[in-house]
Structure 1
Amino acid sequence: MPHHIDYPTVGIIGLGYVGLPLAVQFIRGGCQVIGFDIDEHKVSAINAGRAYIKSVPAAVIAEAAATRRLTATTDSTLLASADAIVICVPTPLTAHREPDLSFITRTAETLAPRLRRGQLVSLESTTYPGTTEEELIPRLERGSGLRAGLDFHVVYSPEREDPGNPNFGTRDIPKVIGGLTADCLAAGVALYQHAVQTLVPVSSLRVAEATKLVENIFRCVNIAMVNELKIVFDAMGLDVWEVLDAAKTKPFGFMKFEPGPGLGGHCIPIDPFYLTWKAREFGVQTKFIELAGDINTSMPRYVVTRLLEALSDAGKPLRGANILLLGLAYKKNVDDPRESPTFAIWDLLRARQAQVLFHDPHIPVAPPMREYPAYAGTPSVPLTAEVLAQSDAVVICTAHDSIDYAFVVQHAPLVIDTRNVCAGLPAELVSDKVTKA
């Protein structure tokens, strides 16, 4: 991208939880944005001025669409009109925990024939070190006949979205950028300064790719540690949350992580295994990462075991029981269900022939999920005294602030609390009803 373009036209490929908030920030920074997505429903919503992600203000989308500052399309030929193209597509795992780069490779093959001299291509999708140079650039060069670093610029800049965080939005979170060349890096800085306040240039594409993995591996490993401690302390009759609260009073050398029913979101359950896969190429094992992954993915089964035990103590079998799951989102106060452990719990309960309903104030209908297609279209039930009373047990999977947990405990016969949200309720209310898991 020529450095003299003060307010570039930015093409963003992928209008999901990363691409759409980024588009908003580029618009606020004075840029024109063309959004590309294969999902016609998203394209239609944007062009009609509607937002479909809770963290993106609907008024902003409506105004941007009305003024044509933001347009959405499924027509890839329009990519040629953008000065910079930012790729924000998913990077899931296969069933064997190996990287699925098909979204990146297909995007590259679609983009390549439309690529022109002077354009900047930025990859934001989380992936292993080497992806941009080994997978993206060769496809762009083959399909365009142009040379990366000479005819067009390439950078890698990992997304750092934290949906639901009131203190840090897209513009506030420092942005790491690595370039193929020094000129590529300069072009990347010139682009992203329109959308993000603080930029963090690094020496290479691979350093930028590795940075995002380190951030998520750090969280994955520490969450696995406290999840394991929860199981150990439960066996000892200790409250892991009380232990952690006491430990965090140390003003140095300790950072509190909280246990839960498993890991969710697109990043932490998936990204560490990208490094695990790539490390094999160098003959290196990632035992710590793999162990953490095993612990975290086992937590839904542990929750179901605790539920089974609590039902058994009440003289009820799990088979045929009416179970209400509170929270389908992967974290509190968001509408994002990606990789939510609630789906794994739901699946385990259905396999044991329990009758399962869910309530989530942010997700009115269960969306299609790659691993759990059977639950798509299931509606969230209202959280009424009648619904709670008709349940044999309620499992709190997500700690949404808008849920009245005292009301839940008051009307439900049994509550399995995986998030410790009932800790502040009166002891006489929770004593015989609430089981921590």
Structure 2
Amino acid sequence: MGEKLVVIGQGYVGLPLAMRAVEAGFDVVGIDVDEWRVKRLSVGESYVEDVGEGELAAAHKSGRYFASTDYTDAERFDVCVITVPTPLREGVPDLCHVGSAAEAIAPALRRGATVILESTTYPGTTEEYLRPLLEDGSGLRTPEDFFLGYSPERIDPGNARWRLDNTPKVVSGIDAASLEKVKAFYSRIVDEVVPVSSVQVAELSKLLENTFRHVNVALVNELSIFAHQLGIDVWEAVDAASTKPFGYMRFTPGPGVGGHCLPIDPSYLSWKVKRSLGHNFRFVELANDINDHMPDHVVSRISLALNQRYKPVKGSRILLLGLSYKKNTGDCRESPAIEVAKALRKLGADVRAADSLVDDFLLPAGIELVEPTGEELAQADAVVVLTDHDHIDYDLVQRGSMFVFDTRNRCHGPNVETL
């Protein structure tokens, strides 16, 4: 019998990890409190885009994977990885899911086991928050009795090039022995591990990665607003700057930021700085302000464009292309496109949306999900490109639409206006 791994959370981070661990020879129990998820996994249905149903079927066939809502199935584990969400609640980090997972797994903790947190959080969480919960619930102490570490997730849903196995993995432990255990585990899962000196360094590294992207997206978003007012094509400027082979990284404008990371993770860092040092993290706060208002800017540009065509927003038929928060994914939670849809609907527009990757039950009330057919495009007063899915026929969009407002620079022509 192989080593027993428990992965708490079977979402876009935990499920790919569970599948890869099965391939590496672990006996894996995927724990999730969502009964709907567990039922789907148990019958071989995947709801995570990076895990195909063939991969899930192979894991079941191996006899080394099953999903459960029952923490008694976690007993006598060798390694436990916690991959639960860490949202914000009224601007404050909400660690309730981490806390619940720790309290539930602690009774199953035994001497010699390893617990690893992957959830994105502020520096200090592993030692100051997770450690006491595990110790109090188990009666054991670390590092004397069990090992504890942190390894930030680096999953990029829908990225076919950089997967879990070939993306370098930052690893850490609360002491040297814990670091060795965490390294040994991930060395069986990924091609390259990157050890760091402390869990705080690892926790900060994840926030740095996402804060870097967040502030640069905000920079180019604000630049796009001013470039439009100055009559300059920001997309051409970005293309030109991108030819520089050093000292520059390409970022492009969009209708805002969404998903599980960018709108949330930098705020964890800002909160920690404010709470521990009494200072405002001005870069993060400014980036939040710019990116949070991009959906409003997009709606304003659409309204102005319709007005110039002698059409009010109220009563206009508007077709939105792409509702998910990023390219070629189906997750539209925390998506700026959804905020655009809600705002247009509130203004009285007849809003329709085309996104074959999104489940219609996730859509706001009053938004009809349609196919981007030639007829649908022709009947729209405005077609708005919000997420640039590759499966959309942009030539048809440009040819078949009266007016296109494109926030992703995929369409070109006299009837197209870009962000």
| TM-score (normalizing by structure 1) | 0.93
Deviation at 1:375, TM superposition (A): 4.4
Deviation at 1:192, TM superposition (A): 1.1
Deviation at 1:336, TM superposition (A): 2.4
Q: Decide whether the 8 Å contact of 1:49 with 1:64 is kept in 2.
A: no
2:15 matched residue in structure 1: 20
Give the Cα separation in 1 of the matches to 2:129 and 2:165: 29
Give the Cα separation in 1 of the matches to 2:17 and 2:368: 30
1:306 matched residue in structure 2: 301
1:416 matched residue in structure 2: 405
Q: Decide whether the 8 Å contact of 2:49 with 2:157 is kept in 1.
A: no
Give the Cα separation in 2 of the matches to 1:330 and 1:117: 42
Q: Decide whether the 8 Å contact of 1:388 with 1:408 is kept in 2.
A: yes
| TM-score (normalizing by structure 2) | 0.96
Pick which of 20-29 and 112-121 moved more.
Answer: 112-121
Q: Decide whether the 8 Å contact of 2:123 with 2:204 is kept in 1.
A: yes
Q: Decide whether the 8 Å contact of 2:77 with 2:109 is kept in 1.
A: no
1:371 matched residue in structure 2: none
Q: Decide whether the 8 Å contact of 1:364 with 1:380 is kept in 2.
A: no
1:346 matched residue in structure 2: 341
1:427 matched residue in structure 2: none
Select 1:90's aligned residue among 85, 89, 92: 85
Other structure's SS at 2:155 match: coil
Residue 13 of structure 1 aligns to which amino acid in structure 2?
A: I
> Is the aligned partner of 1:381 residue 2:386?
no
Give the Cα separation in 1 of the matches to 2:218 and 2:183: 36
1:183 matched residue in structure 2: 177
Q: 1:246 to 1:240 in 2, by over 3 A?
A: same
Q: Decide whether the 8 Å contact of 2:351 with 2:368 is kept in 1.
A: no
Q: Decide whether the 8 Å contact of 2:318 with 2:351 is kept in 1.
A: yes
Give the Cα separation in 2 of the matches to 1:85 and 1:375: 40
Give the Cα separation in 2 of the matches to 1:401 and 1:335: 13
Unaligned runs of 5+ in 2: none
Residue 289 of structure 1 aligns to which amino acid in structure 2?
A: V
Other structure's SS at 1:394 match: strand
1:434 matched residue in structure 2: 416
2:213 matched residue in structure 1: 219
Residue 130 of structure 2 aligns to which amino acid in structure 1?
A: L
Deviation at 1:272, TM superposition (A): 0.3
Query: RMSD in angstroms over aligned alpha carbons?
Result: 1.6
> Is the aligned partner of 1:407 residue 2:413?
no
> Is the aligned partner of 1:234 residue 2:228?
yes
Q: Decide whether the 8 Å contact of 2:154 with 2:169 is kept in 1.
A: yes
Alignment of 1:30-429 (within 5 A): 30-94=25-89, 96-280=90-274, 281-367=276-362, 374-375=364-365, 380-423=369-412
Q: Alpha-carbon deviations, 1:126-148, whole Å to 9, x = none?
A: 00000111111111111111112
> Is the aligned partner of 1:10 residue 2:5?
yes
Q: Alpha-carbon deviations, 1:395-429, whole Å to 9, x = none?
A: 11000111011211222222110000014xxxxxx
Pick which of 129-138 and 206-215 moved more.
Answer: 129-138
Q: Decide whether the 8 Å contact of 2:319 with 2:354 is kept in 1.
A: yes
Give the Cα separation in 2 of the matches to 1:249 and 1:174: 27
Give the Cα separation in 2 of the matches to 1:194 and 1:366: 39
Other structure's SS at 2:94 match: coil
Deviation at 1:284, TM superposition (A): 2.2
Pick which of 401-410 and 119-128 moved more.
Answer: 401-410
Give the Cα separation in 2 of the matches to 1:338 and 1:171: 26
Deviation at 1:292, TM superposition (A): 0.8
Other structure's SS at 1:325 match: strand
Give the Cα separation in 1 of the matches to 2:297 and 2:71: 46
Q: Decide whether the 8 Å contact of 1:324 with 1:357 is kept in 2.
A: yes
Q: Identity over the aligned pairs, expressed in percent?
A: 49
Q: Alpha-carbon deviations, 1:246-270, whole Å to 9, x = none?
A: 1111221111111111012211111
Unaligned runs of 5+ in 1: 369-373, 424-429
Q: Decide whether the 8 Å contact of 2:76 with 2:110 is kept in 1.
A: no
